[in-house]
Amino acid sequence: MGIDYTVISSSLAGLDFLGKFARAIIEGVGIIGLGIIVFTLVLKAITLPFDVYQRYKTRKQTLIMRGMKDDLDKLQKQYANDKTTYNQKMMELYKKNGYSMFGACLPMILSLVILIVAFQGFNSYSRYANVKQFVDMTEQFNAVVLEHATDGEDWHLSIEGVEDDALTIPLTEEQIDGGEIWTHTDEAGVSYRVSHDTEGTQEIKDEEGNVVETVENKVVRLWISSEGEKIFMNYHYLLGSYVYTYDAEAKEVKKDFVPVAPENIKRDYEIDFDTFRSYLAKQGETDETAKAKLAEIEEKLTAAEGEITQEVKDLCTGYVDSLGAAAAKEYYLNHRSGFLWIKNVWESDATYKHPVPKSTPNAKAISALDYTRLTSALGDQKKEYNGYYILIILSIGMMVLSQIVTMRSQKEANKYQTADGQGAKTQKFMLVLMPIIYGIFAFMYSAAFSIYMIISSLVSLLVTVLCNLILGRIFKRKEDDAIRERYGHKLAWKDRKDKEKKSKTKSRK
């Protein structure tokens, strides 16, 4: 009756290195939204020194370029017909003024790499978080349902005669064949019973397809049951079965007993009907739904003249499932990973997405039947809107804004620093391309990544504005000096300083 979650937990191992990094930070902070912001800031802090250095250098180079402009124009007129000499002279001029023409490639690639790192990290962790929620919900489900089940131990057959294991059933193959049944009751009052059952028949064929013999499919099962006030679920499982093969040489059918290995044992839960009814009757004194359920079951029973039909069985399992689903719902509502208006941060902020995914994030993780059983109480959450496109619009808007601001501040640098002033053209293209890429990311992937993109654009916007302010202050004096020098103006205090310097060098001589 419980849901098997070993498969789901195994799919949790898919968390890669970057996902683990994101998980460590986000779970370390505690509040999910804050954790994402901290993760963003950490990534930004790593690149900040490079970014500021780059801006400083660009500014400096632009200043030098501005000073050289007149000389360059002169050169261009002088060597208008001779391009190679012009280039040579230009290079000499650059070297004299300490000007390196272009920036390097690595920093540009680095920013792209960091975007991929962040994307991969968030993607891997959001998948992990969605699956993890299902695993935790399944645990709650099982804990509640299995409260009503027999708490037995898994005994197993050993045909080779391994006796040292305490849980080995002391039976030989002949005993099983002969139909001898082993019973056992342990100290806790749990009783074990081995049965030798026939389940249908099988036709054995020879190579030409003629039926040689018709045999009965024989299986050996272990039934475990116990009695208690709340316990109405018993379970059983397959211990082993007979496999028939046709031996062509001896012209006879061979019979082999194949035991099930202890690790492959699969429990089948079954509701003990009389105990369940008495449990429901007792529960019905306080609980209205249990009373209604009991009445429904009794009605179906009288309609079938006392026979327990499949319909009645489904009613019983439905009641037990509803107990587990209620526990799963309670857990979900207490532990959902929301942020502001978004119900589930690991899905994108759109109305067509829902806080509880329509199916499991990893289709292999949990079967469709188990999924419906687990989320049967979460009907409202499956229909709810996850978000209202706010984060998507915000992330696109922030990107456009930060691109425009960078474009404005780098206008001059683009003119001087790139070949034929192509930087401006590229930047215009980027102004269109980057918001489109960010929009697609925000639509397709989790809201957590949208939050990352917004915070990251915001930080880069702030850095641009602050850098412009501070670097403007620093370079203003230098720019003033350069202008004065060009027009032959020298400041009185600067004259004096120069004279002092000269006198010092003279005295040393």
Partner 1 sequence: MKSVRKKRKKFFRILKAPFLLFRGLLIRAITFYQRRLSRHTCLYTPSCSEYTKRCINTWGAFLGIMMGIWRILRCNPLSKGGVDPAPELPWKRKWLV
Using the minimum distance from each CB to partner 1, give the nearer residue, 308 or 430: 430
Please, where are the H alpha helices in 305-389?
Answer: 310-335, 368-374, 379-383
Using the minimum distance from each CB to partner 1, give the nearer residue, 13 or 112: 112
**Residue 42 in 3-state DSSP?**
helix
Using the minimum distance from each CB to partner 1, give the nearer residue, 363 or 404: 404
Report d(CA 490, CA 488) in Å as an integer: 6
Using the minimum distance from each CB to partner 1, give the nearer residue, 102 or 493: 102
Name every residue whose Cβ is closer than 8 Å to that of residue 430 and which is 6 or more positions away in sequence: 403
Q: How far is the CB of 417 from partner 1 (least distance, A)?
A: 6
Q: How far is the CB of 85 from partner 1 (least distance, A)?
A: 18
Give the Å distances, CA to CA, from 437 to 177, 450, 485: 69, 12, 47
Please, where are the H alpha helices in 13-148?
Answer: 17-29, 32-78, 83-97, 106-145
Report d(CA 197, CA 177) in Å as an integer: 11
Report d(CA 135, CA 7) in Å as an integer: 10
Using the minimum distance from each CB to partner 1, give the nearer residue, 419 or 492: 419
Which amino acid is located at 240 in the chain? G
Please, where are the H alpha helices in 223-307?
Answer: 273-283, 288-303
Nearest to 401 by CA among 453, 342, 348: 453
Q: How far is the CB of 157 from partner 1 (least distance, A)?
A: 55
Q: How far is the CB of 57 from partner 1 (least distance, A)?
A: 7
Using the minimum distance from each CB to partner 1, give the nearer residue, 289 or 422: 422
Angle at which helix 447-486 crosses helix 422-444, to 10 degrees, equals 160
Which amino acid is located at 262 in the chain? P
DSSP classification of residue 421:
G
Report d(CA 328, CA 323) in Å as an integer: 9
Bridge-based pairing of strands 233-247 and 191-205 is unpaired
Give the Å distances, CA to CA, from 208 to 205, 212, 367: 8, 10, 40
Assess contact for 38 and 30: CB atoms under 8 A.
no
DSSP classification of residue 149:
B
Q: How far is the CB of 122 from partner 1 (least distance, A)?
A: 24
Phi, psi of 250 (to 5 degrees): -85, -10
Phi, psi of 256 (to 5 degrees): -125, 140
Bridge-based pairing of strands 156-157 and 168-169 is parallel
Q: How far is the CB of 28 from partner 1 (least distance, A)?
A: 33
Find how far residue 138's CA is from the centre of its chain.
18
Using the minimum distance from each CB to partner 1, give the nearer residue, 34 or 432: 432
Contacting positions for partner 1 (CB under 8 A): 53-54, 57, 100, 102-109, 414, 417-420, 422-423, 426-427, 429-430, 433
Q: How far is the CB of 98 from partner 1 (least distance, A)?
A: 13
Q: Output b/e per residue, 333-368; b: 16+ Cβ within 10 A.
A: eeeebebeebbbbbbbbbeebbbbbeebbbeebbee
Nearest to 341 by CA among 372, 310, 387, 295: 387
Q: How far is the CB of 414 from partner 1 (least distance, A)?
A: 8
Q: How far is the CB of 87 from partner 1 (least distance, A)?
A: 11
**Residue 370 in 3-state DSSP?**
helix
Using the minimum distance from each CB to partner 1, give the nearer residue, 50 or 341: 50
Using the minimum distance from each CB to partner 1, give the nearer residue, 53 or 341: 53
Q: How far is the CB of 423 from partner 1 (least distance, A)?
A: 5
Using the minimum distance from each CB to partner 1, give the nearer residue, 108 or 303: 108
Using the minimum distance from each CB to partner 1, give the nearer residue, 250 or 419: 419
Q: How far is the CB of 100 from partner 1 (least distance, A)?
A: 7
Q: How far is the CB of 349 from partner 1 (least distance, A)?
A: 28
**Residue 181 in 3-state DSSP?**
coil
Q: How far is the CB of 101 from partner 1 (least distance, A)?
A: 8
Using the minimum distance from each CB to partner 1, give the nearer residue, 56 or 389: 56
Using the minimum distance from each CB to partner 1, give the nearer residue, 158 or 464: 464
